[in-house]
């Protein structure tokens, strides 16, 4: 059910608005009559939107790996519009390479953007949402948080981390009126592969049999021999629908390929869990007696 009474008054703060999902979402939200803080490392790339919607669009420079820019961007947004109702952590990129091939520096850089950048945004925006006792947080994850391919381990690991952060955060902020949505897109026709994917220069021959297929798919997309089926504008509408809902999902998979991939992974996990159940449950002390006492766990 859509809660339309508040939708028009919302202020969205979206990271990574220069292209892809961030750009599509920002434009769609503005066209619906809502307000958007458009952030990009180069604000000139979103000036066309501020020109079209001067009263409801604010362009702000933001590199999420720079804490001082995060603090300044949020400060400017609050000063200009008075509040932030929807935070969309969209800024990010991917690294392609086998685990052994990717340098420590490249791994750290990937986590700085995809994980620590999100954490910084959360820590700066959450005090405002707590004071409001309301808000939505959309963390853009990926089907890759479930379906891991050879050659994408570093990128996927950042999305695994983001999912863990998001799931815990959802439980922490629910009593405060704040809702968290993890968005898990499949393959969409953005410029992610051509603009936001860093291909590792180091290639170890022994891994080519495992990683070669993914590298070829990337080349085919870049050469436009393969076209992704997902429409980023429709993805934007789906995200808005989730925010409008009185009971938004914790996880919002986008795309038939995402649904199929996640379902396949879940079925595989269940089959493996069942196959090894006897071994798994054989690990307790013999003197342990079953009881109904509930024990708190990290899960």
* Structural contact between residues 136 and 248, judged by C-beta atoms closer than 8 angstroms: yes
- The length of the chain in residues reads 299
In the block, which residue shows the tokens 């969209």? 90
Is residue 155 part of the annotated active site? The answer reads: yes
Give how far the C-alpha of residue 187 lies from the chain's centroid of Cα atoms, to the nearest Å: 14
- Strand ranges for the chain from DSSP E: 11-14, 35-40, 57-61, 86-89, 94-96, 135-140, 178-185, 197-199, 251-254
* Tokens (6 digits) for 212: 């070669």
Q: Where would I find the H helices in 39-139? A: 47-52, 67-81, 104-111, 117-132
Work out whether strand 135-140 and strand 197-199 pair parallel, antiparallel, or are unpaired.
Answer: unpaired
Among residues 18, 19, 141, 166, which one is catalytic? 141
Is residue 18 part of the annotated active site? The answer reads: no
Query: In DSSP terms, which residues pair with 257 in a beta bridge?
Result: none
Is residue 207 part of the annotated active site? The answer reads: no
Among residues 19, 159, 166, 179, which one is catalytic? 159
Cα maximum dimension of the chain: 73
Q: Report the SS3 class of residue 8.
A: coil
Look at residues 185, 202, 14 and name the one whose alpha carbon lies nearest to residue 95: 202
* Structural contact between residues 136 and 240, judged by C-beta atoms closer than 8 angstroms: no
Q: Read off the DSSP letter of residue 207.
A: G
Among residues 18, 19, 142, 155, which one is catalytic? 155
* Tokens (6 digits) for 155: 């990128």
Cα separation, 288 vs 139, whole angstroms: 42
Q: Read off the DSSP letter of residue 200.
A: P
Catalytic residues: 141, 155, 159
């Amino acid at each position: 059910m859509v809660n339309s009474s508040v939708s028009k008054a919302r202020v969205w703060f979206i990271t990574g608005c220069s292209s892809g999902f961030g750009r599509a979402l920002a434009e769609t939200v503005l066209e619906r009559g809502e307000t958007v803080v458009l952030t990009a490392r180069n604000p000139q790339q979103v000036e066309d939107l501020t020109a079209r919607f001067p009263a409801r669009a604010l362009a702000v420079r933001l590199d999420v790996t720079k804490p001082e820019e995060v603090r300044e961007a949020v400060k400017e947004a609050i000063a200009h519009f008075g509040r932030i109702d929807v935070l969309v952590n969209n800024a990010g990129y991917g690294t392609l390479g086998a685990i052994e091939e990717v340098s420590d520096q490249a791994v750290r850089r990937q986590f700085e953007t995809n994980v620590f950048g999100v954490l910084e945004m959360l820590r700066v925006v959450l005090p405002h949402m707590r004071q409001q006792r309301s808000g939505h947080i959309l963390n853009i994850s990926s089907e890759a948080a479930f379906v891991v391919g050879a050659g994408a381990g570093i990128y996927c690991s950042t999305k695994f981390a983001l999912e863990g952060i998001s799931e815990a955060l959802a439980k922490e902020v629910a009593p405060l009126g704040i809702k968290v949505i993890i968005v898990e897109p499949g393959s969409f026709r953005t410029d992610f592969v051509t603009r936001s994917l860093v291909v590792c220069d180091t290639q170890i021959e022994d891994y080519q049999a495992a990683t070669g297929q993914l590298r070829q798919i990337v080349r085919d997309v870049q050469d436009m021999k393969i076209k992704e089926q997902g429409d980023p504008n429709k993805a934007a509408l789906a995200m808005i629908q989730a925010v409008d809902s009185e009971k938004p999902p914790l996880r919002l998979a986008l795309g038939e390929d995402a649904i199929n991939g996640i379902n396949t992974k879940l079925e595989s996990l269940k089959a493996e869990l069942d196959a090894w159940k006897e071994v798994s449950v054989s690990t307790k002390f013999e003197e342990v007696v079953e009881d109904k006492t509930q024990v708190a766990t990290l899960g």
